[in-house]
Amino acid sequence: MNAIPQAATITPERPLSTATAPRWSIAEVEALYQLPLMDLLFRAQQVHRENFDANEIQRSTLLSVKTGGCSEDCGYCSQAARYSTATEREALMPLDQVVAAAQAAKDKGASRFCMGAAWRGPKDKDLAKVTEMIRAVKSMGLQTCVTLGMLKDGQAGELKDAGLDYYNHNLDTDASFYGQVITTHKHADRIDTLGQVREAGIKVCSGGIIGMGESRRNRAALIAQLANLDPAPESVPINNLVPIPGTPMANVEPVDSFEFVRTLAAARITMPTSFVRLSAGRQEMSDELQALCFLAGANSIFYGDKLLTTGNPEADRDEALFGKLGLRPI
């Protein structure tokens, strides 16, 4: 087995750099996956406790402010215009509705409010409306996050000026498998947008989707690519594919639950100071599987009954689970 580098011990406030964080090869991440599960979880929990309170969970709420009609061909997505799904095309949501949704999320205990729009990338006239949303939500005392697709030069700066805290742009999968998921843009385009976001001084939220037919090596490569960003994303959503009728991935075989847990643990070990978010697919998970995910180092969830176009556990179920596990919201 390949030698596994020891994760650096650093505080959550200290940014990762090439001087403080190990560079992870695909083989080294694969070696993490190959560990006995109990050894892997023990190591992930050690790293987690070195950098976070193990009994605290950050909660975010995600709202689709513009749904459907996207020109991209992401094989997992119900919002692609070329697929026949139950998702209908909707215009950009009015500001007052966004503010009302943000207030409801805050009242339920969310600390971050994420707004998503189904675009290849925002037009300038649309971006102006989104910056209004960011300013309004920011004024409510919530952290702000948007996911708007690929950005053009200067747009990240406008988002920063509006007070944006996080920009979400998932790598989805590793570069070698990417063309089997999306063909309307390249993996490198995603990296370019993340670079613009980082250069503008906005925190990065970037992760991937597990269970799209990729191999373990593809999963290890995704984790390595994320961990080797300089610095690593502050927030790393790990999604378990929710197969949607009408999309090319409607009938993909689900990934094994323990393999999903291993992916979370690998993310925690390789990105010790990042928030690792247990994201899409949580509605289908038992309480026991979610608890295992938290043990593996997940310390963030999407909170609310919907994630863009897919279901999510209701807040009452999450509150009950938190009570059983003794978890506290941040």
- Residues designated as active site: 70, 74, 77, 114, 145, 205, 277
What region does 300 belong to: left with phi over 0, alpha with psi -120 to 50, or beta? beta
Residue type, 13: E
Residue pair 157/200 in contact (Cβ under 8 Å)? The answer is yes
C-alpha span between 117 and 304 (Å, rounded) = 18
Dihedral in degrees, nearest 10, Cα atoms 285, 246, 71, 126: -50
- Candidates 93, 136, 137; CA nearest to 113 is 137
Q: Specify whether the CB–CB gap between 167 and 147 falls below 8 A.
A: yes
**To the nearest 10°, the Cα dihedral for 89, 91, 94, 95?**
90
> Which residues neighbour 165 within 8 Å (Cβ) at sequence distance 6 or greater?
112, 138, 143, 144, 145, 202, 203
**What would the two tokens of residue 25 be?**
């090869």
Tokens coding 74: 């992401």
Q: How far is the C-alpha of 10 from the C-alpha of 295, rounded, in Å?
A: 20
